[in-house]
Structure 1
Amino acid sequence: MKTIGAFVAGALASVALHASTALAAEASYSLTLKDHKFSPAELTIPAGKKVKVSVKNLDATPAEFESDDFKAEKVVPAGKQVDVFIGPLKAGQYEFHDEYHEAESKTHLTVK
């Protein structure tokens, strides 16, 4: 009987750990891409936390959300939305852009 109790306790601890990890990534933000420009033009997220950023491409051509500063890269098909997980990052300012239209789309992520 002790073995079953230990198994149940271990299973509950595992569920609690996974739930706390999911909650840690709960913060979510949205970006849209229209005419090769991100909106909002700058995004602010909390330092030291992993966040989800949903990027919706309103253009008729594909885009590629990319940052060399925080190592992210994800293609966003025309008219579609993708989720990008960022962080945790230290406080500071990080550049990101649409790889296919870098000059028009370059903007910043502020981490506080």
Structure 2
Amino acid sequence: MGARGVPARGSRVSVRAAVGWLACACACVVHGAEVPTFAIDIRDHLFYPSELVIPADTKVKIIVSNLDPTPEEFESYELNREKVIMGGASATIFLGPLEPGVYPFFGEFNPKTAQGTVRVEP
């Protein structure tokens, strides 16, 4: 080996070692990638914001904080998600990757007021 861990000129690097280095580099890149995080609050049986805009083709994390004293449920048939969030508590919901479009969600315990959409944009 030469300086900085680079093979010296004329030395041979096995295919197995090269593949190992490449796999390690890829794992480091994937592990270091952070999931975009968004927040939704529940206050007075309403979602804030009522429209959340997220990027298409990207896995995202949504932290839903219920600031009301009573439980509420984040539910969406289109997103295939259903999560009860107790009063004063938070929940994490992962979405995606999703195609561009509008995906409605609602609060099952207060469906007339607790309504919102996730807008997925390219």
Partners of 1:22 and 1:85 lie apart in 2 by: 18
Unaligned ranges ≥5, structure 1:
none
Match of 2:81 in 1: 72
Matched length: 107
Unaligned ranges ≥5, structure 2:
1-15
2:59 aligned partner, one-letter code: K
Match of 2:116 in 1: 107
Match of 1:28 in 2: 37
47, 62, 65: which one pairs with 1:53?
62
Q: Deviations over 1:26-66 (max 9, x none)?
A: 10000000111000121000011110000000011111111
Partners of 1:78 and 1:18 lie apart in 2 by: 39
Q: Match of 1:73, SS?
A: strand
Q: Match of 1:20, SS?
A: helix
1:96 aligned partner, one-letter code: F
Query: How high is the TM-score relative to the length of structure 1?
Result: 0.82
State, as a whole percentage, how many aligned pairs show the same letter: 37
User: Does the alignment pair 1:63 with 2:72?
Assistant: yes
Change (3 A) 1:97 1:22: farther
**Higher Rg of the two aligned structures:** 2
Q: If each structure's helix is expressed as a fraction of its own residues, which one has the higher value? A: 1
Q: Match of 2:109, SS?
A: helix
